Amino acid sequence: MEIGDHCLIGPNVSIVGNNYNYDQIKVPLEEQGIVSKGIKIGRNVWLGAGVSVLDGAVIGDNTIITPNSVVSSKIPSGTIASGIPAKVIFKRR
C-alpha cells in the first residue's frame, strides 16, 4: 500500500489491501488463500468519512472521494468521485 503526502483520511475509512481467492467452488473460502494487488493513493487526496478502498484501487493525485463511496478500480487525478462503486462526477479545475 502506498499513500502520498498531504492526504486527508476521514473517520471510519476502511483500506483493505487483500482479497480471498474464490475460484474453487467446492473448497471453503478460508482454505483458498488470499491475494493482494496493492493499493495506491496519490498526493493531496481527501477520503471522506466512511469511504472503503478495496484491493487493486488506484486513486490519482488531487482527488476527492465523497463520503461512503467504495473505490475498487482506478480514479483519475484531479477529479471528484462518488458512489458504489465510485465513479467520476466532476473534474476539478
pLDDT, residue 58, reads 98
Phi first, then psi: give them for residue 30, nearest 5 degrees: -70, -15
Cα 66 from Cα 17, distance rounded (Å): 20
Burial 26-52 (b: 16+ CB within 10 A, else e): eeeeeeeeeeeeebbbbebbbbbeebb
Which domains, ranges and CATH numbers included, belong to the chain? 2-91 (2.160.10.10)
Instruction: Report residue 42 as a C-alpha cell.
Output: 496519490
Dist. CA 22–CA 12, nearest whole Å: 27
Which pLDDT belongs to residue 93? Answer: 85
| pLDDT at position 88 | 98
Tell me the whole-structure pTM to 2 decimals: 0.92
3-state class of 58 per DSSP?
Answer: strand
Mean pLDDT by runs of 10 across the 93 residues of the chain is 98 96 94 96 98 98 98 98 98 92
Residue that is written with C-alpha cell 483493505 in the block: 16
pLDDT of residue 17: 94
Q: What are phi and psi of 2, to 5 degrees?
A: -125, 130
